[in-house]
With several copies, the nearest count.
Chain A
Amino acid sequence: MSDMELYEGPLNVKEIFGRWLDEEAESNYGAYIPFVGTIREEEGIEALSFDIYEPILRQWFEAWQAKAAERGAKVKMAHSIGDVPVHTSSYISAVFSPRRRVALELIEEFVEDFKANAPIWKYDVIDGKRIYAADRSTPMEGAGILGIGNEERGI
């Protein structure tokens, strides 16, 4: 198991939480902080839906594994692909660390960087139709290099 798990549809949160707990039961970590993201019922959506570009997500995650290891910690994550109905969960990130300070700092950095830079696209599902969540999406780090080129050439 690579510590990064992708599933079609909603996550089995209890299974994942419990398995991760068991996997690290003898690792002597003092702190385990999972972040569980659940689909909120709002603005008439019936589900959210997700596209993922796995090769880049895997690189992003591996960079985070290295960053966590430097601080004596470990990260794991699970995410859904496709439709995830309201009140079910699409996302779990977790940090294991010997001490609480590092765990508390890392879970925040990990979740925020995930939101900003993981190659995942979100859609509202309303009346069975997928609508890209443009207003909630943010350009990735390094975005704009195709646009900048145009400006420089005076187009």
Chain B
Amino acid sequence: MVKVEFLGPIAREPMEVKAESLAELSKRLYDEETIRPWLEKCAVAINDVMVKDPNHPLKDGDRVSILPPVCGG
């Protein structure tokens, strides 16, 4: 299981998901209507490290952060 947390404006509690890669997680998240519209605009960090590979593997206990579009300043 991995823990998925949604940052900033995504109004969604953290969830536990069974997934062995980001691609697999993506498929799960796509099924959730409140999350789906965010997916293509979000960046991803695993255990607080930004990742760029959509096929990045996930292992048990990983913490996946979903980062929506930003605007600091």
Contact = CB atoms under 8 A, between A and B. Distances in A.
B45 interface: yes
Nearest to A91: B73
B71 A56 contact: no
Interface residues of A, number: 44
Nearest to A133: B71
Interface string B27-50: 101100000000111111100111
A12 interface: no
A136 B71 contact: yes
Interface in B4-34: 7-9, 22-23, 25-27, 29-30
Contact of B65 (A53, A100, A132, A152): A53
Contact of B71 (A59, A122, A143, A146): A122
B72 A50 contact: yes
Contact of B52 (A115, A119, A138, A145): A145
A143 B7 contact: no
